[in-house]
């Protein structure tokens, strides 16, 4: 993970309740840059996942799913709101507000979140695959040495249990509808390659720096393997076995953690 600021780091970083954490970061520039990237990537993906899920609070096929979509969207956007202020505490020049609210135009979210979800199968695939990837990374941050983030991650992981159970249930439910499994499989084929690239290559220098400083556990290969084990298990129950061996690394944008246009 790289420095998303694209320029020199701020030297007037606001003081925090744990200033020693910032002093430690400033002593390790590569880890600090990677941590800034990680925070903004998590925040932007959560923000736009919540935003587009909220648009189905009145369009889901059953009332219970509509109510749950409203709750899940509020949860994701609320989590993003508590992540963005960390950008003011870290050595970063990235705006601490969501794209579009503070003048920032560059997004650090996957391409599947560039536009509203057009169909319910896309919503289900996104909740399984995008949210599943975010949960995997949050799990790698459990016990992170950057205490302000550690406090937030613990609460997020508690909330994510409901999100995970809802996504799994919607996969099973969708596959009971006529052509439901077929439509879901088509959406998985679109989303899965980017989400597998999202974890980055196994030898990514920024992730290695984060791991060496005690900010994360694992690496791109470890995260990807754990993620695949989980999502392929749920999809396999529905008879869906997506191809996942060949990934479009030639289109991978390591800074924004997304695929460039083909």
Tens of pLDDT along 226-257? 999 999 999 999 999 998 888 999 999 999 99
Residue 261 has pLDDT above 50, yes or no: yes
Q: Which of 20-24, 179-183, 210-214 has the lowest mean pLDDT?
A: 20-24
- Between CA 95 and CA 102 the distance in angstroms is 7
- Between CA 171 and CA 96 the distance in angstroms is 34
Residue 4 lies in a domain: no
Residue 125 lies in a domain: yes
The pLDDT value given to residue 228: 97
Residue 225 lies in a domain: yes
Residue 259 lies in a domain: no
Residue 237 CA: distances (Å) to CA of 133, 210, 224, 231: 19, 36, 20, 10
The pLDDT value given to residue 80: 96
Q: Which of 98-102, 121-125, 181-185 has the lowest mean pLDDT?
A: 98-102
- Better pLDDT: 197 or 143: 197
Q: What are the structure tokens assigned to 203, written together? A: 């030898």
Residue 93 has pLDDT above 60, yes or no: yes
The full length of the chain comes to 262
The pLDDT value given to residue 258: 96
Q: What are the structure tokens assigned to 252, written together? A: 């991978």
Residue 249 lies in a domain: no
- Better pLDDT: 5 or 189: 189
The pLDDT value given to residue 20: 37
Residue 247 lies in a domain: no
Predicted TM-score of the model (pTM): 0.88
Tens of pLDDT along 119-176? 999 999 999 999 999 999 999 999 899 999 999 999 899 888 889 999 999 999 999 9
- Between CA 91 and CA 35 the distance in angstroms is 10
| Domain of residue 61, residue span | 19-100+110-241
Q: How confident is the model at residue 91 (pLDDT cuts 50, 70, 90)?
A: confident
The pLDDT value given to residue 29: 83
Q: Which of 20-34, 49-63, 200-214 has the lowest mean pLDDT?
A: 20-34
> What average pLDDT does range 198-220 have in this prediction?
94
Q: How many domains does the chain have?
A: 1
The pLDDT value given to residue 102: 65
Report yes or no: 240 and 184 within 8 Å, Cβ to Cβ: yes
Residue 192 lies in a domain: yes
- Between CA 60 and CA 121 the distance in angstroms is 10
Residue 41 lies in a domain: yes
- Better pLDDT: 9 or 202: 202
SS (H, E, C) the chain: CCCCCCCCCCCCCCCCCCHHHHHHHHCCHHHHHHHHHHHHHHHHHHHHHHHHHHCCCCCCCCHHHHHHHHHHHHHHHHHHHHHCCHHHHCCCCCCCCCCCCCCCCCCCCCHHHCCCCCCHHHHHHHHHHHHHHHHHHHHHCCCCCCHHHHHHHHHHHHHHHHHHHHHHHHHHHHCCCCCHHHHHHHHHHHHHHHHHHHCCCCCCHHHHHHHHCCCCCCCHHHHHHHHHHHHHHHHHHCCCCCCCCCCCHHHEECCCCEECCC
Tens of pLDDT along 32-89? 899 999 999 999 999 999 999 999 999 888 898 999 999 999 999 999 999 999 999 8
CATH code (residue 31): 1.20.1260.10
């Amino acid at each position: 993970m790289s420095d998303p600021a694209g320029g020199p780091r701020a030297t007037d970083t606001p003081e925090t309740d744990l200033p020693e954490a910032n002093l430690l970061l400033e002593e390790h520039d590569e880890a600090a840059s990677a941590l800034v990237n990680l925070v903004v990537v998590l925040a932007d993906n959560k923000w736009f996942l919540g935003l587009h899920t909220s648009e189905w609070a009145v369009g889901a096929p059953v009332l219970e799913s509509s109510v749950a979509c409203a709750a899940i969207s509020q949860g994701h956007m609320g989590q993003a709101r508590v992540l963005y202020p960390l950008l003011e505490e870290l050595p970063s020049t990235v705006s601490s507000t969501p794209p579009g609210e503070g003048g920032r135009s560059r997004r650090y979210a996957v391409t599947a979140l560039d536009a509203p979800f057009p169909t319910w199968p896309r919503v289900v695939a996104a909740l399984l695959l995008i949210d599943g990837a975010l949960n995997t990374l949050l799990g790698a941050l459990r016990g992170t040495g950057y205490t302000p983030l550690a406090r937030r991650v613990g609460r997020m992981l508690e909330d994510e249990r409901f999100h995970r159970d809802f996504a799994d249930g919607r996969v099973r439910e969708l596959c009971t509808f006529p052509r439901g499994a077929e439509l879901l499989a088509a959406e998985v084929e679109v989303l899965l390659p980017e989400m597998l690239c999202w974890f980055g290559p196994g030898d990514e220098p920024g992730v290695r720096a984060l791991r060496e400083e005690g900010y994360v556990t694992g690496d791109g290969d470890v995260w990807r393997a754990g993620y695949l084990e989980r999502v392929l298990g749920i999809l396999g129950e529905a008879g869906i076995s997506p191809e996942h061996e060949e990934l479009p690394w030639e289109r991978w944008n390591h800074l924004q953690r997304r695929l460039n246009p083909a």
